[in-house]
Amino acid sequence: MTDYNILKLTSINIINITFAKIEFQDNDMAYNFKDIESKWQKRWADNQTFKAKQKTDFEGEPKPPFYVLDMFPYPSGAGLHVGHPLGYIASDIYARYKRHKGFNVLHPQGYDSFGLPAEQYAIQTGQHPAKTTEVNIKRYREQLDKIGFSFDWSREVRTSDPNYYKWTQWIFIQLFNSYYCLDSQQARSIDELISVFTEEGNSKINAACDDDVTEFSAEEWLNYSENQQQEILLKYRLTYLAETEVNWCPQLGTVLANDEIVNGVSERGGYLVVRKKMKQWSMRISAYAERLLSGLEKLDWTDSLKESQRNWIGKSVGAQLKFEIQNSKHIIETFTTRPDTIFGVSFLTLAPEHELVMEITTPEQKSVVEDYIKTSAKRSERERMADVKNITGVFTGAFAKHPLSKEPIPIWIGDYVLAGYGTGAVMAVPCGDQRDYDFAKHFNIPIPNVFENIDISENAHADKTQTIIANSDFLNGLNVKDAISKAIEALEEIDAGKAKINYRLRDAVFSRQRYWGEPFPVYYKNGLPKMIEEKHLPLKLPEINEYLPTEDGAPPLGRATNWAWDSEKNEVVSNDLIDDKTVFPLELNTMPGWAGSSWYMFRYMETENRKDNFASKEALEYWQNVDLYLGGSEHATGHLLYSRFWTKFLKDRGYLNVDEPFKKLINQGMILGESAFVYRVEWHYIGENWGEVSEEDESEIPRKSEFPNLYVSRALFSEMGRYVKNYKESSLKSVQIISEKIDSLEKELKIFERPGKTKISRSLSLAITPVHVNVSFVNTSNELDIEGFKNWRPEFSEAEFILDNGKLYDADSSPLGKPDGAFTVSREVEKMSKSKYNVVNPDDICEEYGADSLRLYEMFLGPIDQAKPWNTAGLSGVFNFLKKLWKLYHQDEVFSISEEKASKESLKTLHKTIRKVTEDIENFSFNTSVSTFMICVNELTQQKCNNREILEPLAILIAPYAPHIAEELWEKMGHKNSISTAEYPVFEEKFLKEDTKTYPVSFNGKMRFTLDLSLDLSKEEVEKIVMADERTQKQLEGQKPKKVIVVPGKIVNIVK
RNA sequence: GCUCGGAUGGUGGAAUUGGUAGACACGUUGGACUUAAAAUCCAAUGACCAUUGCGGUCGUGCGGGUUCAAGUCCCGCUCCGAGUACCA
């Protein structure tokens, strides 16, 4: 009885099933999912059953296309856990359903195979990420294949494949060669812009560009040097180089995501992180803000998702104001949505990183300002946004001039203002904004009130609807709306401001200082970027010896020795040849994860012609865009916004004919794991004198690792709690046992027998700490397989256990399963992850119960979009259901169905099911359709139905959910073609006609009894019958009802 | 902090969109079959009270409200989860 765990337990079941099969060998008809599933998976692959057709593949009239796509998986080293396939199963069901409905379905799959985890692994192990990625993909594919998806694998793509990223680079070049024309609201060729510059300069150009563009004439343009012209063009291009704030970690030599920073230091290694500016590629997504926003309206996405995007884009209508600075030629620009409160401004706050801060700071304030900037550079943006409790800031000593009242306004800096947000400066109106209000209160800055009859002694007043402006000169007495337009008018007149629409959406940083991503097709001539010609793509990722940044802080590609571009030979050459005349250095950054995933949905549309096109015109024309997209809501503002941006761009430049990539989108919720915990008892030792542990004492005090770990079960933990004080005096039996055990351990280790040494003693309290246990050592009754646990990791090998019954575990006398021998763990729902040891692998489920059971169970768990915990024990429900379904088609284990006409009852059951399941599938309510199937099979079993008339359509209905069993039954019923080609059954109302209704009769809204009545009865007749019923009379106890409500076909309610 | 979700029996969840709360499963308990176990089948199962039977009270995170009728609508909270711009 060693090595005895839950998996072993169930494999005994499997053996039993196999025996059963042997027993019935002459009729071999038990539901043998293993044979059935591998048979059909092989047949689908051999016959390419799910290969989507291109339009030209049809001989006659082409079928209507339908495109179902899952969000691009990243092939992580951990493999799939049961949470991953949830969305794939749902989309597979929908894809299969659509095939039954007569569509030519495109349902492809591939890999977003560039990414940080592979690179991190490469840094640790030295293995090339391409290799580990390949291994991971193979494993992924094996796992996916076992679940029986109807993917068209012939169209697979991988972002790290040069044949694929060639086109990612190509799109980058198109972006570089484009600018955004605000008049026509679309991207255009940069050549058009150049010809305008040549003819009339830039004064009339209305294009998206950097803020610091200055005006020039045609003459000036022509006189600029090549370099100057390129610098100017870079300010207009849709992808451009710019100084951007990043989280820089000097020790790691790399930039970190906010995600990778914990409490201001790097998650890995705990090194200091500072914010610094860095020259990087950016994407001018902000140019598309308005279209990204308005485009949402026609999309069939959930409101919450659209709302997230709206919020992310963050459109606000207001005014941009200019504040002159006293004794300085500079001005500060601010954006406000409330220009009506302009007379309420009592200070300005700049972000600490604002470029003017050091210029305007007075000598007296210089050192405090510098200190403050240093401190805030250490805080992450997220931290600064989230922290409202600590109000910090310093005065710069400078004053601005109020544009209207001309009063001096102090200029502060504060880290609640973010540099990358708006202009990085806030005109603070403390009476109308809570953060400004708190800041003013904290630093004793005046809070002028500009609202009529509003008390602002406690809080700011942000209301815009009922408010009247006061103390504001010419704005007095106006409502907010009128005051806004009047204020803007006045400010425009004196050139101190103008109406402006602001978006929160920032341009997206596109450079990564990493190895495992797409190389930019870019080299640098005189420090300015040049594109490699399209015909020389792809520019392949070079080999390097180590995947770390270089010693001088350059990205990993800085290690490549062959990473220079020969512009004459048009090839990559050795760095030694760089002469800056014909051979130039190549870009060292690579593209981010979202580069390859922003356009992949169009790549799947193409089959033959992938070499010369990202996708051919014909393919794009036929498939258009994704009809149904499924994935996690964590992509709401990243991937889903970037791919919309690229789609719109490619449409503008004539490469696509749709301007949205995903018509309908469903978010799947996360499947959570049930972690298991045991409880470690911890005690410690102290030297003779409290608080004065000498070094010598320290070395004498026994370390925890010298003892075998002592574990208690959940039962004992709930009795004792996290801490046990004065445990020697505890009356709890379990504590006494622990105490005895510790005593005996000490004796064995001779802790206190150290003659001549400092006296040490054990502390009086115990701490009980939960420790994650791998869930595979826990059975469905939450009992721990102690031997398995001990063998799991070396630190547990000597562990001791106190069982639920308070006795010490002994391998010989108290094995799992014997009465009284249980050691119960506690369970907690957490995210499913390797580190929490709560991962459940779909392979194991397929092995034990089969893919059809897995598919059904994942759907049965609950609504697709909600997070829900996984519990393997529940699987037996759907497994039993499949066995019952199988039995419907068999008599005494022999396949047998009747050709006779089905009963009225059975037809009713069938058509009820058709209606409900179809409705559910259209609404993506897969959990309820599984229930419906269960009800249907329960009813048909009850009816002893085995008519072909019922069982054939039933198999088709169930095929999208449990395709293997459905195919097998379909074949047994005599069909040669795959069930996936069968037509979906048609619902017929006539079988469901009811003429009576069981009315619930309620009194004051509480149901008391039911009454079967004909549906033909009128309201009055129903009331009459109900009132005559003796149960009604009993409820009324002789009183007259105040009111009787009859809703025909629904309810009766009597008000007493 | 901000934005978006969520909360219903021991557990996962259902409820035709304001009309019988707890469908369908899991689990638990009891029973049948068996030498026994597994498998299978049958029955009970929100809590409490009552019980020979009829039955009754409470109940959808908390506090209010609207209504003949509220899990569902309105107002105010609490707690949990996700995202928050270089994880994918």
What are the DSSP E strand ranges found in A856-911? 868-869, 890-891, 894-895
> Nearest residue to B67 (CA, C1')?
A1005
Q: Is residue A231 assigned to a domain? A: no
Burial letters A206-234, b for 16+ CB under 10 A, else e: ebbbeeeeeebeeeebeeeeeeebbebbb
Both A872 and A901 in a single domain?
A: yes
> Any idea which residue has 């911890």 for tokens?
A682
pLDDT at A781 over 80: no
pLDDT of residue A977: 94
Task: Give me the CATH number covering residue A1038.
Answer: 3.10.20.590
Confidence of residue A837 (pLDDT cuts 50, 70, 90): confident
Both A394 and A417 in a single domain?
A: yes
User: What's the CA A866/C1' B6 distance, rounded, in angstroms?
Assistant: 8
- 3-state DSSP assignment of residue A694: coil
E strand or H helix at A723, and its extent?
strand A723-724
Confidence of residue A24 (pLDDT cuts 50, 70, 90): very low
Please, which residues bridge with residue A276 across strands?
A246
Residues 411-440, chain A, CB closer than 7 Å to nucleic strand B: 421
Nucleotide in closest CA–C1' contact with A1051: B19
> Nearest residue to B19 (CA, C1')?
A1051
> For the segment A1033-1048, what is each residue's pLDDT rounded down to a tens digit?
877 777 778 888 888 8
Count of C-beta atoms within a 10 Å radius of residue A715? 17
Domain boundary among A963, A986, A1009: A986
Nucleotide in closest CA–C1' contact with A311: B3
What are the DSSP E strand ranges found in A370-521? 394-401, 408-413, 425-428, 497-503, 508-509
| Angle at the Cα of A317 from the Cα atoms of A312 and A320, rounded to 5 degrees | 110
Residues 274-303, chain A, CB closer than 7 Å to nucleic strand B: 278, 280, 303
- The two tokens of residue A1007 are 């149901």
Q: What is the mean pLDDT of residues A476-497?
A: 88
Nucleotide in closest CA–C1' contact with A927: B13
Q: What is the CA radius of gyration of chain A?
A: 36
Q: Is residue A34 assigned to a domain? A: yes
* Poorest-pLDDT segment among A19-33, A214-228, A744-758, A886-900: A19-33
pLDDT of residue A23: 35
* Poorest-pLDDT segment among A2-6, A434-438, A832-836, A1003-1007: A2-6
Residues 866-925, chain A, CB closer than 7 Å to nucleic strand B: 866-869, 871, 873-874, 876-878, 880-881, 883-884, 925
Q: Whole-angstrom Cα distance, residue A727 to residue A745?
A: 17
pLDDT at A957 over 70: yes
Confidence of residue A12 (pLDDT cuts 50, 70, 90): very low
Strands A261-262 and A254-256: unpaired
In 3D space, the residue among A887, A711, A873, A714 whose CA is nearest the CA of residue A800 turns out to be A711
Write phi, then psi, for A79 (nearest 5 degrees).
Answer: 75, -175
> For the segment A337-364, what is each residue's pLDDT rounded down to a tens digit?
888 889 989 999 998 888 888 889 999 9
pLDDT at A551 over 50: yes
Q: Is residue A203 assigned to a domain? A: no
Confidence of residue A270 (pLDDT cuts 50, 70, 90): confident
Both A634 and A696 in a single domain?
A: no
| Angle at the Cα of A467 from the Cα atoms of A461 and A469, rounded to 5 degrees | 95
Both A679 and A663 in a single domain?
A: no
- The two tokens of residue A398 are 């400078």
Distance of CA A39 to the CA centre of its chain: 35
A133-138: long-range pairs with CB below 8 Å, 24+: A133/A75, A133/A160, A136/A75, A136/A76, A136/A77, A136/A79, A137/A75, A137/A111, A137/A113
A1002 touches strand B (CB under 7 A): yes
pLDDT at A821 over 70: no
pLDDT of residue A583: 95
Q: Is residue A572 assigned to a domain? A: no
H helix and E strand count, chain A: 33, 39
Both A431 and A401 in a single domain?
A: yes
Please name the amino acid found at residue A559: R
pLDDT at A45 over 80: yes
Q: Whole-angstrom Cα distance, residue A419 to residue A275?
A: 11
Residue A997, CA atoms < 13 Å, CB-side half-sphere: 14
A1007 touches strand B (CB under 7 A): yes
A308 touches strand B (CB under 7 A): yes
Most confident of A243-257, A613-627, A697-711: A613-627
CB A980 within 8 A of CB A99: yes
Residues 222-261, chain A, CB closer than 7 Å to nucleic strand B: 244, 246-247, 255-260
| Angle at the Cα of A603 from the Cα atoms of A599 and A606, rounded to 5 degrees | 155
In chain A, the percentage of residues whose pLDDT exceeds 70 is 93
pLDDT of residue A388: 75
Q: Whole-angstrom Cα distance, residue A245 to residue A242?
A: 10
- Return all residues near A694 (Cβ < 8 A) that are at least 6 apart: A687, A758
Instruction: Tell which wins on pLDDT, A22 or A490.
Output: A490
Domain boundary among A610, A637, A668: A668
Domain boundary among A668, A690, A718: A668
pLDDT of residue A10: 31
Q: Whole-angstrom Cα distance, residue A840 to residue A240?
A: 45
A931 touches strand B (CB under 7 A): yes
Q: Whole-angstrom Cα distance, residue A178 to residue A649?
A: 9
- 3-state DSSP assignment of residue A187: strand
- Return all residues near A157 (Cβ < 8 A) that are at least 6 apart: A108, A110, A111, A164, A600, A603, A604
A653 touches strand B (CB under 7 A): no
Both A971 and A1050 in a single domain?
A: no
Q: Is residue A523 assigned to a domain? A: no
A938 touches strand B (CB under 7 A): yes
pLDDT at A641 over 50: yes
Write phi, then psi, for A314 (nearest 5 degrees).
Answer: 55, 60
Confidence of residue A22 (pLDDT cuts 50, 70, 90): very low
Q: What is the mean pLDDT of residues A586-611?
A: 93
pLDDT at A817 over 50: no
Residues 513-552, chain A, CB closer than 7 Å to nucleic strand B: 513-514
Confidence of residue A329 (pLDDT cuts 50, 70, 90): confident
Q: How many domains does chain A have?
A: 5
- 3-state DSSP assignment of residue A339: helix
Give ipTM to 2 decimals.
0.93
Write phi, then psi, for A1044 (nearest 5 degrees).
Answer: -125, 120
Both A617 and A740 in a single domain?
A: no
A133 touches strand B (CB under 7 A): no
Both A442 and A480 in a single domain?
A: yes
Q: Is residue A214 assigned to a domain? A: no
Both A334 and A479 in a single domain?
A: yes
In 3D space, the residue among A297, A275, A406 whose CA is nearest the CA of residue A351 turns out to be A275
- The two tokens of residue A45 are 């692959």
In 3D space, the residue among A428, A214, A211, A425 whose CA is nearest the CA of residue A333 turns out to be A425
pLDDT of residue A210: 87
Nucleotide in closest CA–C1' contact with A255: B86
User: What's the CA A307/C1' B3 distance, rounded, in angstroms?
Assistant: 8
> For the segment A655-685, what is each residue's pLDDT rounded down to a tens digit?
999 999 999 998 888 888 888 888 888 877 7
A11 touches strand B (CB under 7 A): no
Both A465 and A321 in a single domain?
A: yes
pLDDT at A29 over 80: no
Confidence of residue A698 (pLDDT cuts 50, 70, 90): low
Which nucleotides in chain B have some atom under 7 angstroms from a protein Cβ?
1-6, 11-15, 19-21, 23-28, 38-41, 56-57, 68-70, 81-88
Both A643 and A687 in a single domain?
A: no
Both A1034 and A915 in a single domain?
A: no
Q: Where in the sequence is the domain holding A762, given as residue range(s)?
A: 672-831
Nucleotide in closest CA–C1' contact with A421: B85
Residues 479-508, chain A, CB closer than 7 Å to nucleic strand B: 504-506, 508
Residues 373-402, chain A, CB closer than 7 Å to nucleic strand B: 381-382, 385-386, 388
Please name the amino acid found at residue A335: F
In chain A, the percentage of residues whose pLDDT exceeds 90 is 43
Q: What is the mean pLDDT of residues A570-582?
A: 94
pLDDT of residue A707: 67
pLDDT of residue A705: 56
Q: Is A377 exposed, middle or buried (0-12, 13-18, 19+ CB in 10 A)?
A: middle
What are the DSSP E strand ranges found in A835-923? 868-869, 890-891, 894-895
The whole-chain average pLDDT of chain A stands at: 86
User: What's the CA A935/C1' B47 distance, rounded, in angstroms?
Assistant: 28
3-state secondary structure A362-388: CHHHHHHHHHHHHHHHCCCHHHHHHCC
Confidence of residue A701 (pLDDT cuts 50, 70, 90): low
Q: Is residue A22 assigned to a domain? A: yes
Confidence of residue A691 (pLDDT cuts 50, 70, 90): low
pLDDT at A708 over 90: no
pLDDT of residue A632: 83
Residues 577-596, chain A, CB closer than 7 Å to nucleic strand B: 592-593
User: What's the CA A617/C1' B25 distance, rounded, in angstroms?
Assistant: 50
Q: Is residue A562 assigned to a domain? A: no
Q: What is the mean pLDDT of residues A188-208?
A: 93
pLDDT of residue A772: 85
